[in-house]
Amino acid sequence: MAVRRRLAYLAAVLTLLAGSGFAVDRWVWAPAMISTAGAGFDRPLPIPPLAPSHRDRHGRRVYDLRAQAGEHDFGAGPVRTEGFDGSYLGPTLRMARGEQVLVDVHDDLPEPTSVHWHGMRVPAAADGGPHQLIAPGSSWSASWRVDQPAATLWYHPHPHGATAQQVYRGLAGMIIVDDPATGSPALPHEYGVDDIPVIVQDKRFTADGRLDAANAPLAGIGLLGDTVAVNGVTGPFLPVVTRRVRLRLLNASNARTYDFGLTDGRRFALVGTDGGLLEAPVRLRRIMLSPGERAEIVVDLDPGRTEVLRSFPHPLGAGRLGDRFVGGDDTLDILQLRPAPVLRPGPDLPAVLAPLPLLTRDRAARTREFHLDDDAINGLPMDMDRVDARPIAGSTEIWRVVNDDGIPHNFHVHGVQFQVLTVAGAAPPPQLRGWKDTVFLPPGRPVELIMQFPRHPGPGVYMFHCHLLYHEDSGMMGQYAVIDPGS
C-alpha cells in the first residue's frame, strides 16, 4: 500500500474503532507515544576507538575494517549484533585532507555487504554503494584522496534491500576529516576528552532480550525503537573536565528523527553541519536531525552542574494524528553531561569558523525535479540497471526535491555536498546554511538543493535516496552517473 495512504487509512480505522467503543486511546494512541525522560543515566559513554592505520609503500594511509557478527551488551545483557572490528559499531576513521587513503574491508558476515562513506567525495567506484558488494569471506578495497573541508561523516553498509537490517544490527561508524584551513583550531578538538562522537540510534528489544528488527506498525516509516543507544549503550553519561565540549551528533537510526536540546533550556552553539563547519557559530536551543544527518555542537558547561541532552517532541509534517505514529510526540533522553567541580578553561568560541563559498543560483547549468512518493522517486522504484540523471562533470545543478507522500522522508545525495537554496520557497533557516548531504523532507515542503558534481568521478554510479532505511531498501532510491563534458 502506498505509504501516503497508510496514515489516511489509519485515521479512518481509528475513527471507526472509536465509534464502535474500542478503547483507541488506551490500545493505539497512548502506546504510540514514547517517553524515556528521567529514566536515568548509569553507564559511562563509550568512545569508539580511533581506527589504527599504517602507511603503505605508495604513501597511502591504510585502514582495515572487518564486518563481523558478535554479541554486545547495550545495558541489559548480551544480544546478537554486528560491528566492524568488534561486535557493535566500528572504530572512528580519522583522516586529513590531502592524504590518499585506502580502506580494506573484509566481510566476515554470513551474507554480502558493502561499505559506503557517507558524505565523502570519492570516485564512484570507491563509493561502496549497492554495486560494490562484498561476498561473504571476501574483501574489497576503496581508495581516494581526501579532498573536502573538515567534517563529521560516517560509514555504513549499502547492499540494496538489506541496508536497514545491517545498520540496525550495528554496522556503522564515524569518519572525522581534519583540515587546518577549514577546521577551526579554537574549537574543542581532543578526541574523547572535549571532542565527543555521539552516535544516536533507537532500538527495540524482544521480551527474551534480542534486538527486535520489526517495523513499527501502521506508520510505514520502518523501524522505530523505544530505547536510545548512544555509541552502543543505553543510559549513558559523560564525565566532562573542560568548560566547553564539542559533540559530534550523528543520527545513525533507521527511521527516527530527533530534535536535540538541553533540558535546562540553555542554548548551544551549532558549529558544523553534515559536510563541514558553518561560517560562524549559530546559537540555538534545538537542532533537528533526520536519519543520516550530523551536527557539531559546542555546549558551555558550569562546574559541577549536570546537563541532559534530550530529544523533544517536534512536528514532522504528518499532521497531528500522523506525527504521533512517526515518532513526533516522543521524548527521549540521550546523554547526561557530568562536569567536574573544576573545569579546564578553553579558548572562546571564534566569531568566524571557516570559509563557506556560496553556490549561487546563477551558476547552475540546469534544474532537475525529484518527487518522492510510494516507494519510488518520480514514479520509478530503484533499478540497479537504470541511470536516472547524467550531470556533467564539474557542473553545478539545482535539484528541486518534493515529498508528495503523507509521511516524512529525507533526501541524501552521494558523491557531493550540497547547499540548501530554499525550503518551501523561503530562505533556509541558519541550521541549513552550511554544507549538507542529507536534508529532512516533510510532506509538501519542497527544497531546492544546489550542488557541484565531481570533476573526476571515474566510471560508475552514485545513489540518491531517502535515508529512512526501510524506504531506501523498498525502492525510494535512484542513481546518477557523472559524464564527461564532451560526451
Find which of ligand C2O, Cu ion, none residue 246 binds, CB within 5 to 8 Å per kind: none
Task: Say how many residues touch ligand C2O, by CB under 6 A.
Answer: 10
Give least dist CB 468 to ligand C2O, A.
Answer: 11
Phi-psi region of 62 (alpha: psi -120 to 50; beta: other; left: phi over 0): beta
Site stretch for ligand C2O (CB under 6 A), options 103-111, 335-343, 449-457, 459-467: 459-467
Q: Does 463 bind ligand C2O (CB under 6 A)?
A: yes
Binding mask 271-290 for ligand C2O (x = CB under 6 A): --------------------
* 312, 307, 335, 176 alpha-carbon torsion, rounded to 10°: 100
121 binds ligand C2O (CB under 6 A): no
The piece of 185-193, 383-391, 445-453, 462-470 that touches ligand C2O (CB under 6 A) is 462-470
Residues 286-315 that bind ligand C2O (CB under 6 A): 292
In sequence order, the 6+-apart residues with CB closer than 8 A to the CB of 30 are none
Binding residue for ligand C2O, selected from 4, 61, 244, 412, defined by CB under 6 A: 412
Q: Which is nearer to ligand C2O, 4 or 118 (CB)?
A: 118
How does DSSP assign 262-301, residue by residue? ETT---EEEEEETTEEEEEEEEES-EEE-TT-EEEEEEE-
d(CA 392, CA 455): 8
Q: Tell me the residue nearest to ligand C2O as measured from the CB.
A: 118
Least distance to ligand C2O from the beta carbon of 302, Å? Answer: 36
When asked if residue 433 is in the footprint of ligand C2O (CB under 6 A), the reply is: no
The number of helices, as runs of H, and strands, as runs of E, in the chain is: 5, 31
Closer residue to ligand C2O, CB minimum distance, 51 or 476: 476
- Contact between 256 and ligand C2O (CB under 6 A)? no
Distance between CA atoms of residues 233 and 200, nearest Å: 10
- Of 363, 362, 380, nearest to 371 by C-alpha is 380
CB of 335 to ligand C2O, least distance (A): 22
Say which entry of ligand C2O, Cu ion, none residue 409 contacts (CB below 5 to 8 A, set by partner kind).
Answer: Cu ion
User: Count of residues for the chain?
Assistant: 487
CB of 58 to ligand C2O, least distance (A): 28
Provide, rounded to whole angstroms, the least separation between the CB of residue 435 and ligand C2O: 15
Residue 158 binding target from ligand C2O, Cu ion, none, CB below 5 to 8 Å by type: ligand C2O
153 lies in the site for ligand C2O, by CB under 6 A = no
**DSSP annotation of 125:** G
**C-alpha cell of residue 87:** 561486535
| 3-state DSSP percent of the chain in helix, strand and coil, to 5 | 10, 40, 50
Which residues make Cβ contacts (< 8 Å) with residue 433, sequence separation at least 6?
A: 278, 279, 356, 419, 420
CA distance 473 to 202: 18
| 49 phi/psi in degrees, rounded to 5 | -65, 155
Cα separation, 85 vs 68, in Å, equals 7
Is 158 among the residues that bind ligand C2O (CB under 6 A)?
yes
Residue showing cell 502506546: 31
| Minimum separation from the CB atom of position 21 to Cu ion (A) | 35
The nearest distance, CB 407 to Cu ion, in angstroms, is 7
In angstroms, what is the minimal distance from the CB of 365 to ligand C2O? 24
Q: Which are the contacts of 163, defined by CB distance < 8 A and separation ≥ 6? A: 156, 157, 469, 472, 473
Smallest separation (angstroms) from Cu ion to the CB of 171:
14
Judged by beta carbon, residue 151 or residue 463, the one nearer ligand C2O is 463
Question: Closest distance between Cu ion and the C-beta of residue 469, in Å?
Answer: 9
Out of 4, 60, 106, 118, the only residue in the binding site for ligand C2O (CB under 6 A) is 118
Nearer to ligand C2O, 121 or 158 (CB): 158
Examine residue 414 and tell whether it contacts ligand C2O (CB under 6 A).
Answer: yes
CB nearer to Cu ion: pick between 160 and 471: 471
Q: Could you tell which of ligand C2O, Cu ion, none binds residue 471, using a CB distance below 5 to 8 A set by kind?
A: Cu ion
Contact residues for Cu ion, defined by CB under 5 A: 118, 409, 414, 466, 468, 471
- CA gap 143, 125 in Å, rounded: 9
Q: Is 432 in contact with 275 (CB distance < 8 Å)?
A: no
Q: How far is the CB of 254 from ligand C2O (least distance, A)?
A: 11
Q: Report the alpha-carbon distance of residue 325 to residue 256 in Å, rounded.
A: 11
- Nearest residue (CB) to ligand C2O, 121 versus 156: 156
Q: Return the one option of Cu ion, ligand C2O, none that residue 465 interacts with (CB less than 5 to 8 A, by type).
A: ligand C2O
Contact 457, 482 (CB under 8 A): yes
CA distance 75 to 56: 39
Site residues (CB under 6 A) for ligand C2O? 116, 118, 156, 158, 292, 412, 414, 463, 465, 467
